[in-house]
Amino acid sequence: MSSIDWPRVCARRLARHGLAAALPGAPTDAVAAVAGTHAQVMSAAELAIGLRLDGVTRADVRHALWTERSLVKTFGPRGTVHLLPTRELPMWIGALSAVPWSNPMPADLRMSPEQTDAVLDAIEHALADAELTIDELTDAIVAAVGSWAGDPVMDAFQGKWPRWRQITHRAGWRGALCFGPNRGRNVTYTNPRRWLPDLEPAPDAVPEVLDRYLYAFGPSTPERFANWLVAPPAWAKQVFEAAELEPVEVEGKVAWVSKGDTDFPDEPPRGLRLLPYFDAYAYSVGNDKARLYPGVAAERAAGNFQVLLVDGVVGGIWHQRRSGRRIRVTVEPFARLSKPRRAELDEQVDRVGAILEGTPELTIGEVTVGGHA
């Protein structure tokens, strides 16, 4: 069994995430490399993709998403909003729909399996030729299955959501729903089969998703894989046991990589990066978090902050505020930056401005804004 220390694990992940050197290819290739880009905040997703490629701006990401359709915005791992490569959508819906799911809603609010199937069918039909807002989609579902689907029973940020929304992510996992372009300030949903008429879930797709996960985040464990997907730990353990994997020892603990994928850089990680909200590198760390967030970072960067990455670990937090083309960037390092580090930071701030198509202004000081919800 190979024995690997944490810096080499860190260096491997940086390289595979396109954070040591830019990845080749287009936005869809960067998204594929990190097994999906979290897109709850679209500007953060645009920045996460642009940071991993040369010369790519938010306009290029939007073109890939809404014009080329080489990316699709839908519900991915953990049931959260992601950008996924369109070419990989059969794999993703095949794997995600195979993950055992237990409805966490209270019994008196939970939809039955029969009601769930009825709503999923109604969603697929309503969006087959349309882009609908959430209210329009609710009306179509209620008309198809009954008023119970629209009962406002789900606690939400500002009031109550209709009952059917407890399975919105499952409609994405089934391939019945994805996001459409905004209509003014309103989000719309549509059906990816409008441009992928032959879309079907790939059979036996879970091993392929595990391979993608291990490529980006390995060495890893069944527990961390379960956390990344929000899947039952016992199921994740079975997936690992059935796959062709190789064990490696990481500082005294056993983890796994895909069979034959045992290359690790010899040099320790180097460089400074500004990572956006929910970036894949910092977000899906499992029990590596103590190593990735050392010292003061464990408390100061707790929550959903944009982080300053220094030699592969969190060395600060940052925030941006946009006004027209002006982007005010505040960076709070957790240690004094040397002159070379400050030069790297200036380059990174300029790069953020180029990707987001704005003019950045850097302030080094305390970030007074809390983490993202």
CA atoms 75, 80, 82, 87: torsion sign:
negative
Is residue 286 over pLDDT 80? no
Name the band, by pLDDT with cuts 50, 70 and 90, for residue 260: very high
**Beta carbons of 131 and 138 less than 8 angstroms apart:** no
For residue 329, report the phi and psi dihedrals to the nearest 5 degrees.
-110, 120
- The average pLDDT across 104-115 equals 93
Instruction: State residue 335's pLDDT score.
Output: 96
* Residues shown for the chain: 373
Residue whose C-alpha is closest to residue 69's, from 47, 51, 53, 84: 84
Residues 68-83 have pLDDT tens digits of: 999 999 999 999 999 9
The pLDDT score that the predictor gives to residue 254 is 96
Query: Is the peptide bond prior to 90 cis by the omega test (within 30 degrees of 0)?
Result: no
Contact residues for 15 (Cβ-Cβ < 8 A; gap 6+): 21, 265
Looking at the predicted structure, is the pLDDT value of residue 237 above 70? Answer: yes
Give pLDDT, residue 205. 98
Q: What is the pLDDT of residue 287?
A: 62
Sheet with 2-4: list strands edge to edge: 2-4, 245-250, 253-258
Residue type, 6: W
Strands (E), 60-197: 71-75, 81-85, 132-133, 152-156, 159-162, 178-183, 186-190
Model pTM score: 0.96
Q: Residue 223: what pLDDT?
A: 94
Phi, psi dihedral angles at 291 (to 5 degrees): -80, -40
Of the chain, the end-to-end C-alpha distance in Å amounts to: 41
Cα distance between residue 219 and residue 213, in whole Å = 10
Whole-number pLDDT of residue 21: 95
Return the number of other C-beta atoms located less than 10 Å from residue 133's C-beta.
16
Q: 38-59, pLDDT tens digit by residue?
A: 999 999 999 999 999 999 999 9
User: Rounded distance, CA 136 to CA 3, Å?
Assistant: 56
What is the pLDDT confidence band of residue 303, given thresholds at 50, 70 and 90?
A: confident
* H/E run at residue 313: strand 313-323
DSSP symbols for 163-191: GGGGGHHHHHHHTS-EEEEEETTEEEEE-
Convert the pLDDT of each residue in 307-365 to its tens digit.
999 999 999 999 999 999 999 999 999 999 999 999 999 999 999 999 999 999 999 99
Structure confidence by residue, pLDDT tens digits, 172-188:
999 999 999 999 999 99
Angle, vertex CA 195, rays to CA 194 and CA 199, nearest 5: 85
For residues 225 and 239, the answer to whether their CB atoms sit within 8 Å is: yes
Question: Would you state the pLDDT for residue 284?
Answer: 63
- Considering the chain, what percentage of its residues have pLDDT values greater than 90? 92
